[in-house]
Every structure is written in structure tokens, then in C-alpha cells.
Amino acid sequence: MNIVLASASIRRHELLKRLTDKFEIIVSDFDENAVKFDSDCASYVMKLAEGKALNVCKNVHNESIIIGCDTIVSFGNKILGKPENEEEAFNMLKFLNGTSHQVYSGIAVVNSASGKIIRDYVCTNVKFSDLSDDVIRKYIERGEYKDKAGAYGIQGYGGVFVEEIHGCYYNVVGLPLNKLSKMLREMGVSS
């Protein structure tokens, strides 16, 4: 069975290699703005993941298992997406400074031949240490905040901000491997 990752994320690509070497990448051009946030983070990320997977499904011509995923950072019922610039990144990190927040990843696995869809999500609680403005600015200068929900990458230098984590580490990176492995087995794919 052909496996397709509907993501341009290098992190997701690297993580999926831990489950299988046999997959291809087809980047989704799903319009994430088509999904409105209704105060339910779990539902929101699953809808985004499904939208990405179904978008790629239209471009697949042989029977394939398509994996769509989306990750958000949530704090106080506010979603922190990917910052558009350094100022927005600074404000996000300042907002998370010394607090706990949640990282949600939604996963959708679609069988292009049968149309079967499995959706699920993972939520991980992450607590940041107290950060000085200088520490935040030095982090931003590294450029690591780019293309990261909540403006940080736990797998990089941003990991030093994390005081505690409760839940799946790989969820915070962007692809909860344990959950995905179970979903692929449910879809009939052995890893």
C-alpha cells in the first residue's frame, strides 16, 4: 500500500521515517482559513488534518493511505499559530513565558480507494520557565521560531524553555508517533 504524507514539514517527514521508509510527500494546498475555530481545539485540529488529507486525496491516482496532520498551540482558549514576523514571535513567547499551555495535533488517515477516514488528536501540556526579554530576543535572532506553532521548536534550542511536559513529546514536535502508529494499524497498514 502506498503511503502519502500530506505535509511539507521536514519534522513530520523525519518522524514518519521512524514508522516507515516507504512513503511519498504530496504537499496539501488546503485553505486552512476555510475551517473556523469554534473554541474546541481537538475538533479544530482534526478538521484541519482531514482537510489536508482529503485535498491530497484528489491528486492520488493509485490506492494510497494519506496522512494529514495539523498542530496548534493553545493558551487560555487562544490559538497561537505560526508567527508572521519577529514581533509576533516575541509576543507569543512573552505570552507563554512562565505558564503552561497545550499543544494539539490532529491526525487524519484516509484510504483513497475505500474513502475510509480515521481522525484523532493528541494534547500535550507544556510548561515554560520564566524567560527574560533578552533570552527571547536571542532565540528569535536564531530564526528557529519560523514556521513553528507558538513560535518555538521543542526539538531545537526552544527546548531549553520547557520546564515540564505531560504527554507525548512527538506531538509537540508535530507528529504524535504512537497515535499515528495505532491509526495506521487500524487502517490495515503494518509498520
SS3 content of the chain, % helix, strand, coil (to 5): 35, 25, 35
Cell of 20: 516507515
pLDDT digits (tens, 9 = 90+) for 132-186: 999 999 999 999 999 899 999 999 999 999 999 999 999 999 999 999 999 999 9
Tens digits of pLDDT across the chain (191 residues): 899 999 999 999 999 999 998 999 999 999 999 999 988 999 999 999 999 999 999 989 889 999 999 999 999 879 998 999 999 999 999 999 999 999 999 999 999 999 999 999 999 999 999 999 999 999 999 999 998 999 999 999 999 999 999 999 999 999 999 999 999 999 999 75
Domain regions of the chain by residue span = 2-186
- Whole-model pTM? 0.93
130: annotated active-site residue: no
* Catalytic position from the list 21, 29, 40, 70: 70
Find the length of the chain: 191
Q: Classify domain 2-186 by CATH number.
A: 3.90.950.10
DSSP 55-85: HHHTT--S-EEEEEEEEEEEETTEEE---SS
